[in-house]
Amino acid sequence: MQGFAGKVAVVTGAGSGIGQALAIELARSGASVAISDVNTEGLAVTEERIKAIGAPVKCDRLDVTEREAFLLYADEVKDHFGKVNQIYNNAGIAFTGDIEISQFKDIERVMDVDFWGVVNGTKAFLPHLIASGDGHVVNVSSVFGLFSVPGQGAYNAAKFAVRGFTEALHQEMTAAGHPVKVTTVHPGGIKTAIARNATAAEGLDPEELAKLFDKKLANTSPEQAAKVILEGVRKNRARVLIGNDAKVLDAIIRVVGPHYQRLFPKVTSKMLPRPH
Ligand SMILES: NC(=O)c1ccc[n+]([C@@H]2O[C@H](COP(=O)([O-])OP(=O)(O)OC[C@H]3O[C@@H](n4cnc5c(N)ncnc54)[C@H](O)[C@@H]3O)[C@@H](O)[C@H]2O)c1
């Protein structure tokens, strides 16, 4: 894809799914890439594939919840490549469980990775992106950052928070006249390991949930998702929706407004397993 040659891009959660596909597509498009994940096995696969393309790659184990490590990592990436243009705050986890039966620790864990991970990455890299004179922050939310569904309270909270944070950043960069573009990404169902890596509240079977996700909800490949994200970045879109499911759901929310909260449980109760 055009527009990425010579850029230095950072991708978190690059050992699997959307992050892996993004890192590979960026490398193919002529970018130098800094990839990280807690899943070092998956990360090694991504590194190998980028090396085979012939693109410069820096590969590190990084837990996005570890703020001090993230701050040090940002300086290391800048020292290694001499500049940083783009960060894709992509690392994320899923958890299913009604709020009534979820533990505080379950909700906190989702917020730690999916929200604070994004805050850590944005704050750690922002000075470098501004200094580059041509920066871009790309934060991965979800369609669940546009509307809520039963059983996804923790994930909804984190993904709405990512959207609020990122949309504020967008306006702040413009107001300050900083050379940093900002994009929020809202994927629909993408065929990745997210549901297989997910946890669930007691009484729910994570395997059953993963099967349902893989069979019924995940329609777009991570490679397609990566292309849509990079196209959105290239065109400097504030919001990127991925998949027809995301587009249809976004349109429904715009039309029905808050009434979706009355409509959706009737649909989701037929689709989603309830606690046993
Ligand atoms: N797959 C979907 O349908 C979908 C839909 C909407 C949003 N998303 C979002 O897309 C992003 C990527 O997810 P995916 O679908 O590719 O899932 P995935 O499970 O295939 O990949 C996520 C990666 O993030 C890594 N990760 C998890 N916790 C981490 C941590 N603390 N520090 C560093 N890395 C960590 C995992 O090891 C994994 O490699 C996530 O933010 C997810 O919430 C996915």
**Domain residue ranges in the chain:** 8-271
Ligand 1: distance of its center to the CA of 13 in Å?
6
Q: What is the CA(55)–ligand 1 centre distance, in A?
A: 23
Closest ligand 1 atom, CA of 140?
41
Count of CA atoms in the C-beta half-sphere (13 A) of 120: 23
CA–CA separation, 59 and 40 (whole Å): 9
List C-alpha distances in Å: 133 to 35, 84, 129, 179.
Answer: 22, 10, 7, 5
Q: Which of ligand 1's atoms lies nearest the C-alpha of 155?
A: 43
Q: Whose CA is nearest to atom 18 of ligand 1?
A: 194
Instruction: Record the pTM.
Output: 0.97
Compute, in angstroms, the gap from residue 33 CA to the centroid of ligand 1.
Answer: 18
- CB 54: neighbour CB atoms within 10 A? 9
CA of 114 to the centre of ligand 1 (A): 9
pLDDT value at residue 274: 65
Q: Which atom of ligand 1 is nearest to the CA of 39?
A: 37
Contacts of residue 163, Cβ cutoff 8 Å, sequence gap at least 6: 141, 145, 146, 184, 186
144 CA closest ligand 1 atom index: 6
Q: Give the model's pLDDT for residue 261.
A: 96
Q: Which protein residue's CA is at the shortest distance from atom 1 of ligand 1?
A: 190
Can you give the pLDDT at residue 268? 82
The CATH homologous superfamily of the domain defined by 8-271: NAD(P)-binding Rossmann-like Domain (3.40.50.720)
Minimal-distance CA residue to ligand 1 atom 32: 63
pLDDT at res. 75: 98
CA–CA distances in Å: residue 37 to residues 61, 145, 224, 226, 239? 5, 23, 21, 17, 25
Name residue 182's beta-bridge partners. 137
Tens place of pLDDT for every residue, the chain, 276 residues?
Answer: 999 999 999 999 999 999 999 999 999 999 999 999 999 999 999 999 999 999 999 999 999 999 999 999 999 999 999 999 999 999 999 999 999 999 999 999 999 999 999 999 999 999 999 999 999 999 999 999 999 999 999 999 999 999 999 999 999 999 999 999 999 999 999 999 999 999 999 999 999 999 999 988 999 999 999 999 999 999 999 999 999 999 999 999 999 999 999 998 888 877 766 665
Which amino acids bring their CB within 6 angstroms of ligand 1?
12-13, 15-19, 37-39, 42, 63-65, 90-93, 113-114, 117, 140, 142, 187, 189-190, 192-194, 197, 218
Active site residues: 155
Single-letter code of the amino acid located at 185: V
What pLDDT does residue 70 have? 98
Query: 3-state DSSP call for residue 242?
Result: strand
Measured in Å, residue 188 CA sits from the centre of ligand 1 at 13
